[in-house]
Copies of this chain bind each other. A is one copy, B any other.
């Protein structure tokens, strides 16, 4: 089977150039005498890899020196707990904005530790828009305000960050990091599962103000969740996910070679623009998301019936496009078009939508 266009929400498409580089060096990493997969995490070769990965992320995201960059395990889901356990005292208030499944899961997981205050929700319209947050609803003594900045399942993005006064803003940018030009300094903490724009699954990247995380955590919290421990040990308190860190470095360097994150956003806007355009002009396809909230990395769309949906997915698959099925919790279709998905893929998808609308069936 030839390589296809992969619209998966995550793990997701990786640029072919990056895959080729990883493949070339997989058997014997230059200068190391062994594969990255076998490399001691205490070796100079690996120290260079982790240092370069961090430095490249800092350059392409303009991360200031007073922010730490941490490589954590357990995916974003473990961060749902870690955010609460690091930033809040047990039972302290913390604010959550509900914009979909992951923000809700984050709130539920956080609620094991904090007293959650739901400051906004778009559940009333099936999470199809980003709800405003009234700054007055955020208690001054809240430990943080948590948002899921890009909602993978529902295809929405915070294009404007909420006002949050002196309460730290924590944003889950899993599905748009490196694909949207994020202003790090407007956040107190950002975290993201790697398996979208930063390589394979198995890692979460945390970018946090050092002053926010430089604190001892409650003694009951597992040490692997402690941001301070991770920071003080250069993300190597225990053996880190070396290959994931290496891949994140390759991805970041690829972004840099392409012209940086603004260039990525430009390309993603072009892809998303083409797709929204055809959806908005269709009589049978539609996108339910409010115009000002549309994601440029995850585009959801529906057809009138399940039969239509199945027929369209089959036709797209036959044309070499996979993983266009919507999340199992919502159905419909979804095109995740991360940095690794080339423009050509979107063009093929648009063509397929037009042909389907014109009555073609394959």
Residues of A whose CB lies within 8 Å of any CB of B are 1-4, 6, 8-14, 16, 19-20, 22-23, 26-28, 30-43, 73-78, 80-82, 85, 109, 112-113, 193, 195, 199-203, 219-225, 237-244, 247, 320, 322-323, 328, 340
How many whole Å from A237's CB to the nearest CB in chain B?
7
The answer to whether A11 and B223 touch across the interface, beta carbons within 8 angstroms, is no
The answer to whether B22 and A224 touch across the interface, beta carbons within 8 angstroms, is no
Contact of A33 among B1, B27, B40 (CB under 8 A): B1
Which chain B residues lie closer than 8 Å to A20 at the CB level? 27
For A8, the closest partner residue in chain B by CB is B40
Give the dominant DSSP class at A's interface.
loop
How many whole Å from A234's CB to the nearest CB in chain B?
14
For A2, the closest partner residue in chain B by CB is B33
Which chain B residues lie closer than 8 Å to A202 at the CB level? 73, 202-203, 240-244
Q: A28-B3, A31-B1 are in contact. Are A242 and B200 (CB under 8 A)?
A: yes
Contact of A224 among B39, B42, B74, B237 (CB under 8 A): B74
Q: How far is it, in angstroms, between the C-alpha of A332 and the C-alpha of B222 when the chains are bound?
A: 31
The answer to whether A22 and B37 touch across the interface, beta carbons within 8 angstroms, is yes
For A36, the closest partner residue in chain B by CB is B200
How many whole Å from A157's CB to the nearest CB in chain B?
20
A-B contact pairs, 10 of them (CB 8 A): A2-B28, A6-B38, A13-B34, A16-B27, A37-B247, A43-B323, A78-B222, A82-B222, A222-B222, A243-B243
A-B pairs with lowest CB-CB distance, top 9: A202-B241, A81-B222, A4-B33, A77-B238, A8-B40, A23-B26, A37-B200, A78-B224, A73-B74
